[in-house]
Amino acid sequence: MVKMPPDVRETLEKQKPIPIATASKDGVPNVVFVGLLKVVDDETLMLADNFFCKTAANLIENPKISILCYNSETKKSFQIKGSAMVCKEGLNFDEMRKWVHGINPKLPAKACVMVNVEEIYNAMWGPAAGEKLV
């Protein structure tokens, strides 16, 4: 795992919704917007699965995930790559349900997706586009 620099964390915390990408075991890509993403610490993210369909299936087959964020004020964009673990019980699941139901008790909060941050890239255009930051 790697630690997110402050500007990456700030960008993630400000953007809603956030696009996430997964792929099946056969490499078929899927991208969806997620409204409930929380930074747990500098190395870990929590996603709430309320309505995942292909995303949930992909994460079971292939735990790799990519998350894209953009800050229109700073004009910075980052791609975060990591590995996801789906939890349907336990402490992380309980914390996710409390968080989600504190926002909207009608949401199903089916599963908690914990993401370990493994790589971060510059996702802006220009000469540094695609450059690995950490």
Per residue in 60-69, pLDDT (tens digit) is 999 999 999 9
Per residue in 105-134, pLDDT (tens digit) is 999 999 999 999 999 999 999 999 999 999
User: How much helix, strand and coil, in percent to the nearest 5, is found in the chain?
Assistant: 20, 40, 35
Can you say whether the dihedral through the CA atoms of 82, 84, 31, 106 is positive or negative?
negative
Burial of 52 (0-12, 13-18, 19+ CB in 10 A): buried
Query: For the structural domain made of 6-122, what CATH number should be given?
Result: 2.30.110.10
pLDDT of residue 77: 97
Per residue in 19-47, pLDDT (tens digit) is 999 999 999 999 999 999 999 999 999 99
Pairwise CA distance, residues 47 & 19, whole Å:
12
Pairwise CA distance, residues 4 & 39, whole Å:
10
As given in the structure block, the two tokens for residue 24 are 């099946």
CA 60 to chain centre: 15
Specify whether the CB–CB gap between 93 and 111 falls below 8 A: yes
Report whether pLDDT(1) > 90: no
Per residue in 47-103, pLDDT (tens digit) is 999 999 999 999 999 999 999 999 999 999 999 999 999 999 999 999 999 999 999
CA 61 to chain centre: 17
